[in-house]
Amino acid sequence: MTGPTPVGAGFDALTGAGRGAPEGPSPEAPPPGIRTMGATAPSATTLVLVRHGEAVCNVSGVCGGPIGCTGLTDRGRAQVAVLADRLVATGELAGADALYASILPRAVETATILAPALAPMGEHGAAGAPPAIAQECGFCELHPGEADGLDWSAFSERFGNPDWDTDPGRAIAPGGESWTGFVRRVADTLDTVAARHPGELVVVACHAGVVEASLLAKTPVVDGLDGARMQLRTQHASLTTWEVDGDRWKLIGYNDGAHHLGTNGVGGSAEGVTASGRSWMSVGTGRRIG
C-alpha cells in the first residue's frame, strides 16, 4: 500500500475518529454493523445527570433522606456555581427542554443554581426563560427508611452494618431500600423520563448513587441490576451524559468535573481526581450516602 491512509479508513474509524474531529469528516466509513459510533438519531434523548454539590449531610455524617437532608454546604453551592459558570461560558446545555431534581433539598438546591445556565440563548446572547424544575422522587438517593436522619454511629448500633458488596439484596433499614431495589427503581425512572422526552435535552440534578445505578442498569455490566456496587467515585457537581434512542443507551461521558480543576477549596469531591486518575486535592470526609 502506498501513500497515506485516508483518515477514517482504518481501525480508528471503528470509534468514529475523524467524524466531527478538527481534521474533518472521514472520506470512508466502516459499515454500520461494525462501526462503534454513528450519527445521533433525531429521536434520541440526551440525558445529563448532575450530582449535587457537597451537602450538609455529607460532611456531618448523617443519613440524608427527606428528614436528614438540609441542603448544600457553602462549599457545595460554590461547586455548583462553578459548574453553572462553565455552562454559561460554553452554552453546552443551553436551551435544555427539561430540568428534573430529586425531592431531596440538596438536589433541588443544585437544580435551582443551575437553572439559569440552562436557559435558551436569544439574540445578542440574551438568555430566555430557564426550564422549570420538576421534582421526581424516582431520582432520589437510596430510600433510607427508619435510618433517615440518624448519624452513622447510631445507625450501626440500631441496624448493624449491611454489606452491599456481598449482600446487595439486604435493605438498609426497615422501610428502606436494598441496593438492588434502588438500582431497579432508578432504571425504571430513567426509562420513564427518556420516553417522555424523545429528541430532547434533559438535565437531572441527582445523587452519586443514581449515577452509579444508571451505569449498572444501562451498560452491559455482569449482574448489573442484581449485583453489587461498582464503588465509583462520582464527584460533586459533575456531569454524566447518556444518549438514549428507544431501548438503546449510549454512555457519552462519566464524571465530567473538569470545571473544578484549579478552583482551590471548591473541588468537585472529597478527593478531586483528574482524567488520569491522579488526586489533585484531598479533603477529609466521613462515611456517607451521596
Q: What is the pLDDT of residues 104-149, one digit of tens each?
A: 999 999 999 999 999 998 776 667 899 999 999 999 999 999 999 9
Q: Whole-angstrom Cα distance, residue 83 to residue 211? A: 17
Residue 234 Cα distances to 50, 207, 273, angstroms: 10, 9, 10
Going by C-alpha positions, the residue among 218, 211, 224, 220 that lies closest to residue 243 is 218
Going by C-alpha positions, the residue among 133, 111, 131, 132 that lies closest to residue 51 is 111
- Name residues whose C-beta falls within 8 Å of residue 249's C-beta, 6 or more positions apart in sequence: 218, 219, 242, 243
Q: Which pLDDT does position 256 carry in this prediction?
A: 93
What single DSSP character describes residue 62?
Answer: B
Q: Whole-angstrom Cα distance, residue 157 to residue 138? A: 29
Exposed e or buried b for every residue in 176-210, given b needs 16+ CB within 10 A? bbbbbbbbbbbbebbeebbeebeebbbbbbbbbbb
Is 209 in contact with 182 (CB distance < 8 Å)? Answer: yes
What single DSSP character describes residue 261?
Answer: T
59's enclosing H/E stretch is helix 56-60
The C-alpha cell 484549579 sits at 262
Q: Which three cell numbers stand for residue 114?
A: 443551575
Which pLDDT tens digits describe the chain residue by residue (290 residues)?
A: 444 434 444 444 343 333 344 445 565 666 666 655 566 778 899 999 999 999 999 999 999 999 999 999 999 999 999 999 999 999 999 999 999 999 999 999 999 999 999 999 877 666 789 999 999 999 999 999 999 999 999 999 999 998 988 999 999 999 999 999 999 999 999 999 999 999 999 999 999 999 999 999 998 766 666 766 666 888 999 999 999 998 889 999 999 998 888 766 676 544 433 333 333 332 222 333 46
What single DSSP character describes residue 127?
Answer: B
Instruction: With H, G, I as helix, E, B as strand and everything else as coil, classify residue 171.
Output: strand
Please name each of the domains of the chain with its CATH number: 45-259 (3.40.50.1240)
Q: Whole-angstrom Cα distance, residue 270 to residue 281? A: 8
Is 289 in contact with 212 (CB distance < 8 Å)? Answer: no
Is 35 in contact with 16 (CB distance < 8 Å)? Answer: yes
* Per-residue pLDDT tens over the stretch 253-263: 999 998 888 76
Q: Which pLDDT does position 165 carry in this prediction?
A: 87
Is 134 in contact with 101 (CB distance < 8 Å)? Answer: yes
